[in-house]
Structures are given as structure tokens and as C-alpha cells.
Structure 1
Amino acid sequence: MSDFSRRQLLAGTAAIAALAAMPARGQDAMAAADTRPDLAGKSVFITGCSSGFGRAGALHYARLGAKVIASMRGLPRPEAESLAAEAAAENLDLHIVEIDVLDDEQVAAGVAEAERIAGGGIDVLVNNAGIGITGPIEVQDMEATQLMFDTNVFGYLRMARAVLPGMRAAGSGQIFVISSQLGRLVVPSAGQYSPTKFAVEAMFEQLAYELVPHNIEVTIIQPGGYPTEIWVNRNRYTRELRDRIPESHANGYPALIARMGTEDGSGRDTDVLDVPRAIAEIIAMMPGSRPLRRPVHPQRIPQAAINTVSHETQLAWLGPSGYGPWIRSVLT
């Protein structure tokens, strides 16, 4: 690979020059035309579609013209029926498959079914399924810790490994992973959530570099706090953990343990559609120009400064090395 990055080559300097020369009114018209990305012809495969970003995203991408394969565990269930009914009422190209991201066999079977529906390799994977369990690290027993990592980290890896052969065969693809502000920052008593999201950040940045030769791009989405069902599920898992904490561990954190399983994120006024809108915008971008990371929150993105330092340090450290072409292709 030459000193020009894949992103620069694919973007095309001629197109950039033409846009720069366009009168301001013409640029405004183009921006207005692009406010609703066109996802026609794209297959978008999403995990964790029973609620939250997954459900909202499934409908949003389908409304933008994509063929959507929405997955969730435990079918049949009311959430699948309501999603299917809403899609049918709007005549959307939306299909539902069963996947529990903890189950290797279900992942393999679900991806095979999704590829059958798509008629080949998946264009876009959105790794969204995740859970939270709060409380001090000392009280996180191995059952809670293994469940967190198996869902939030290994589940993402299972899905990525399952779709990548088809993407590589097609010579293109996009993988999105839902991380968090807490994939860069740490809040005391948030349990293993930050550790799992830190792992996601590292794993999928590494994957982004390794997929450069295959023209497959990775974007890490970093939402702030949103009023999704994760709060309800998190409280259920957290109460189950709280009820089995041995006194030898619990007696060190009485105030923190008293709050475990009682948190409520429903009062947040942020719009859950912020995340699907950001993903759709990135899907529609020119190949080679898509960002490695995208913070998403209308007010608070404290991790942005860390993203900048990480970006600059990675380029300075490995940009001049033999890994440089991969690193520059993702970061420049």
C-alpha cells in the first residue's frame, strides 16, 4: 500500500475539490438533501432488537430503505410480535431471527439465516446486545462477571467472527459496535460495565486495522446516557447479585450496596434515535471516509478528549512503522 491511505484513495481528491468549489447555496442544498441517508440496497443485521437502540434502529434503517434483519433471544416473545407488526403496517423490509449472543450454535444458525435473507454476505452488522450489572468490583462474583463479559464482549466477537467470512468474500462490509462513554471513562460502583466496554474499544480498534486489506470498516459508537430498557434489566441482574453477596464482601460497602438495583434512567430526556441516526449517517458515508469512533450525546461527550489523545498517540507511535499503512488507513 502506498503512502496514500485507502480512505484518501477511495474518497477521491477530485470529488473533494468539486465540493470545495461549489457555491455556498449549492452546498446547503446538498446538505439538505443528505439529511435522510439512503440505505436502499444495504442489508443491516442488528443484535438486541427487543428494545432500545436495537429496536429503534431496526425500524429506522428499514424506513431508510435497508433490508433489516433484527435479532433477539427467546423467540417467540411479545417484543418480536410488536416489532413485526409495526414493520408490516409500514410495509418495511424487516425480518426477525432468533439469536442469543451467548450461544455459539444460535449465532451460527442466525447468521446463516440472515445471509440467506440478504442473498449473500451481510453489508452491515450492528453489535448492540448488551447488559449492565452495577456495584463495587469486589462484590462482582464470577457469575456476574462472566455473564457481563460473555454478553458485552464475547457476544460481539461471536457475531463479528460469524459475519466476517461473508464480508470478506464480498470484499466489503461495515461493523458497528455499541460501546459507551464508559468505554473510556470510569464511574465508581458501575460494576464490570466499564471493563467490558474498555475491552470492546480495544478489540474492535484492533480489528479495524486488521480488516483494512479486506475493505471492511469498523466504527465504535460511544453513547452517553439514554432512557432504554437496559436500566430495567440492569436492576434485575443487579438485585440478583446483591441477594447473593457474602457478608465478608458486602460489609465494606454498605452505602453502595443499598443502592444496587434501584437506579432509574427513565427520566432522561435524550432521544434514543440519536444512536440509529448516527449509524445511518455513517453507513451512507463514502467508503474510506467513515470514522473509527463516534461519540453520541446531545450535551455530554467527555470521552472526546481521550479519543483525540488516543488517535494522535496511535498515529505517532505506529504510523511510521511497518503497521503504518493499516493505522493511517483507519485514522486519517
Structure 2
Amino acid sequence: MPLIRTMQKNSVSIKSSKEILKHAIRFIGQHNLTAVPINYTVSYEYCRGDHALLRQAIDQAIASKQPINNEVMQCWFDTLLLGYDLKELSESQLELNKIASQLALTTTQAEENVIQFDNSLNECKSGLSEAPNISSLLSIVSLLLNSTTSMQIAMEQMKQQLTASKQEIASLQDRLAMATIEAITDPLTGLTNRKGLSSAISEALLSAQQSQNYPCLLILDIDFFKKINDSFGHLLGDKALIILADTLKKQIKGKDTAARYGGEEFAILLVETDLQNAWKVAENIRRIVENLKITRIHDHQEIFRMTISIGIARYQADQSINDFIDHEDSALYQSKNTGRNRVTIFEAKL
């Protein structure tokens, strides 16, 4: 389950939070946004002003007079506020708290050492002002040397602690980056998962706001996949999924995204691609897949072949993401209902 990573635990007074909420509600009203939790979250974080990237993105959109709608708000939420896996984030917060506590302790100890060193210097200064003899001078020099040595040791310990903390933070950042990747990756095929696809769609729609060159989405489904599982077992069923995923990876380029949508369903997001070229991509994939042979590892004997059905739709201006995906599903069902192993482009009913 994802969490919002930028929800900092700053202490905000009730009065301040009420003011922020008023501005957030006003922001939602000004842009005719739906009153849903995601829009409240983005608006509140923007009005609070703690999230620099979010603030910059919205300020730029307002300055350039770009439309701010529900899809854009969803994109900002997904790309800027949506964070890491709950378990990983909780563990990371504990580790960060531990590092912060260590640094606080180190700082406190350093402050105490500085105070102690300062007291020693003042004591020496006082002793020198009293016209000391040789014996007292030696005592003062000895005190200075001891205090200086103690301070050097304390500073070296602090340096080592800061270095260790820096390494721990770097390691933690790497782990969080890996957790982010894992959170949007299908473990079996290595493709983007449904959550990652949703983020990719939101980003593509945000990028297309000015050019109006909206993306196309392909939904692909393996025909009679249950029969493959029942006849040859789940291991070969998984092999079929992996082979199809590898095929999709080879057929996309640039900013396009291939994803495992769920079960035996896959998706390809084609950015800056019209329906005609999207159909060419889909038809090419369909032909490649129907010619694939699923073979046994030890003797390469053919076990079965598979086919796929594909539905295509292109995003329409002011359309919701759910409607966009529903259109792909409708086209896919049409491919299934008219014989399978074919490509269908969604056509709106007049």
C-alpha cells in the first residue's frame, strides 16, 4: 500500500491548518475540480508550500495557463506525492529516526566538549593574568595540552560518526530507490505493473496537455490462457507469460511503456502515437506471437502455440483515465467475441 512521502510530520497549529485548508478549498473551486481526497491532498500540500517540486509544477502550470483538471491532479499525486511501499517506508522511517538520534547525540556531545574546552581556556587565561611563576605556567601549559588533545579526540569521533551516518543515509536512499522500482514492477515478467502503468498514463497525459498529441493504449490478452494452464501446468503458463513479456519489451521504444495489467492481460502505452501507427504496432505484435513456439527445454520439442487478442483506443481530451481504459476493454472484448487473434480499434457509438 502506497503512502505520501512528502507528508512531513511538521507541527502545524490548528489555526494554520484551517487557513491552509481554506486556500486549498478555494484552489479546488477556482479550477472546477472534483472534491475527492486526491485533489484535497494535492491542493493542501501546494497551499502549505513545503513541497518545492509540487509548488514549482503548479506555479508553472498556472503561469502558462495550462488547464488544471482531475487527470493533471492525479498525475501530480502519482509522480510527486505517491511514495514508497508502506513496510519499506516504515522501516526506513525507523532507521532515519535512529540516524537522527545518533546525530543529535553527537551534536550534543560536541557542544559539551566545546563548552568544556572554552572553560579550560578561560581558566588558563585567568591563571596567566595573575603573573604566574614557572610552576604555574607548566600547569597551565599541561592543562592546555590536555584540553586540546581531548578536543581533537572529540572532533575525530564526531567526524567518524558523521561519515558513518552519511554512509547509512546513502545506503538507505539506495534501498528506497530499489523499493520504489519494485513497487511498480511485476516480479514474474519484469514489466511495469498496473500501478506503474497508471503513473505512466498520468505522466503521458500531463505531457500532452499543450500539444494535444494524446497517447494510445493497447490491451492484450492471451487467448484461452486457462486452457494452457489446465493442459500444460502453471509452469508452462508462466513461461508463456514471460515469453509474451519479452516480446513486448522488444517492440516498444523511447517513452513507451509495456506492462502486465493483471493475470494474462498486458498493456502497451504508446505516447505521441496516432491510431493508425498504434494499429501497426499491435498487428506486428499479434503476428509475432502467433508464430512463436513454446518448446520443452531439454529437447526443444514444440508443446503449443498461443495467440493474443488486442484492443486499442486513443485518449480523448477531457476524458477520465477510467473511461480511457474502458474503451480499450471494449475493443478487447470485441476482438474476443469476433474470433480472437485479432486487433480491434475502439469506435465510439454515436
Highest RCO, 1 vs 2 (Cα 8 Å, sep ≥ 6): 1
User: Larger helix proportion, structure 1 or 2?
Assistant: 2
Normalization by structure 1: what TM-score?
Answer: 0.22
Normalization by structure 2: what TM-score?
Answer: 0.21
